[in-house]
Amino acid sequence: MNRAHALLALLVACLAALPLVANSYVLSVATLILFFAFAGQAWNVMMGFAGQLSLGHSLYVGVGAYAAAGLYFHYGLGAWAGIWLAIALCVLLGAAIGFLAFRFGISGVYFALLTIAFAEFTRIGFDHIDWLGGPGGLFIKVEHRVGWDLVNLRGAPAMFYYVMLALTAAAFALCAGLLRSRAGYYWQAIRENEEAAQALGINTFRWKMLAVVISAAMTAVAGVFFAFYYNNLFPEQIFHISRSIEIILGPIIGGLGTLFGPILGAAVLTVLADGITELLAALGWEFPGVKQVFYGIVLLAVIMFLPHGIWPALARKLGVGR
């Protein structure tokens, strides 16, 4: 375990020092990796820990993003105020979906379909909310590109990088704590065999709801970051199913249900996908959609050769736990 802690400390130190040496391109890729690592961890709580497949996590990213961006746009309320509204709305939405599904015994692929349906009709709904810009999008003012206005989450790329790093580290600590707690054991039991879990006295409805609600709340935070980092939101983009898929690829490739898998998966995917795009651009070939094709190939390779993801195999090599 000590070895794992040492490696983790080394990694955090390297990540903390990165803005000192990296150029703006590397920093933007690193921020993107952390964003997907964070969102992947959020999704992993629901699917990796509790075994509930959501294919509609773009719902929480979008609602979280729009909630905070709307408050800032109309009332000048900063991201840290908006984050509470974002979390509250996403928790309510998650609870509604969870209640509908778990109360009426919808599980597996049917549950996944329900999550897609919610994301899709929310996307269409947001096209009709003029207050939030409708299909034309919501733009929040870009200012202080050099300073550090943490209170309003406006500032230099390095600030966003550190905010995302802190969020990812906090999510990691939260997940580690959850996995060792009663909730972690119960979730894994439900994931492995729900009927047996229930026979051992576990109120499966309640614990599945908890997983959904925590996952939704974490993803809402990712959405708030997204809004203030990119400064523009379109329902067509943010609620799109491809965003949900992007979120879940990291944990699947890195290692479902593991603590480090979502982080590793996000890093591998983003670095390789961006690398390939850059390489092709340098060679003068530009194919739209090359990233998606690449995602597909990586996913196939991992499922064929490392069905439990990259991290469990790597962890054995490094001699550390999961």
Partner 1 sequence: MSTLLEVRGISKSFRGLRAVTDASFEVPQGTIRALIGPNGAGKTTCFNVIAGVFAPDAGAITFDGRPIHGLRPDQVCRAGIGRTFQIVKPFAGLSVIENVIVGALKRAPSVPAAKKHAAEIVEKLGLGAKRDLPASSLTLPDRKRLEVARALATRPKLLLLDEVMAGLRPTECDQMVEIFREINRADGLTILLIEHVMRAVMALAQHVIVLNHGEVIARGTPAEVVRDAAVLECYLGEEAEV
Q: Residue 172 has what DSSP assignment? A: H
User: Which of residues 181, 293, 301, 321 is near partner 1 by CB under 8 A?
Assistant: 181
- Report, in Å, the least distance between residue 195 CB and partner 1: 6
Give the per-residue contact string, 228-267, with partner 1 (x = CB under 8 A; - = no): -----------------------------x----------
Which stretch, 79-87, 108-116, 201-209, 269-277, contacts partner 1 (CB under 8 A)? Answer: 201-209
Q: Residue 5: which H helix or E strand, with range?
A: helix 2-21
Binding of residue 193 to partner 1 (CB under 8 A): yes
Residue 193 C-beta: closest distance to partner 1, Å: 5
User: Under the criterion CB under 8 A, does residue 208 sit at the interface with partner 1?
Assistant: no
Dihedral of alpha carbons 113, 115, 119, 124, sign: positive
Instruction: Report d(CA 265, CA 33) in Å as an integer.
Output: 9
Tell me, what amino acid is at 275?
G
CB 314 → partner 1: shortest distance, Å?
18
Q: Does 277 bind partner 1 (CB under 8 A)?
A: no
Interface with partner 1, residue 196, by CB under 8 A: yes
Among 130, 146, 195, 283, which residue interacts with partner 1 (rule: CB under 8 A)? 195
Out of 105, 201, 288, 307, the only residue in the binding site for partner 1 (CB under 8 A) is 201
Question: Does position 192 bind partner 1 by CB under 8 A?
Answer: yes
Q: Which is nearer to partner 1, 193 or 242 (CB)?
A: 193
CA pair distance 185, 19, nearest whole angstrom: 38
The backbone torsions φ and ψ at residue 155, rounded to the nearest 5 degrees and listed phi first, read: 165, -160
Structural contact between residues 164 and 41, judged by C-beta atoms closer than 8 angstroms: no
User: Considering only 8-16, 37-45, 124-132, 186-194, which stretch makes contact with partner 1 by CB under 8 A?
Assistant: 186-194
* Interacting span for partner 1 (CB under 8 A) from 162-170, 194-202, 229-237, 278-286: 194-202
CA–CA distance, 30 with 165 (Å, rounded to integer): 9
Nearer to partner 1, 128 or 316 (CB): 316
Residues in contact with partner 1 by CB under 8 A are: 180-182, 185-186, 188-189, 191-193, 195-204, 257
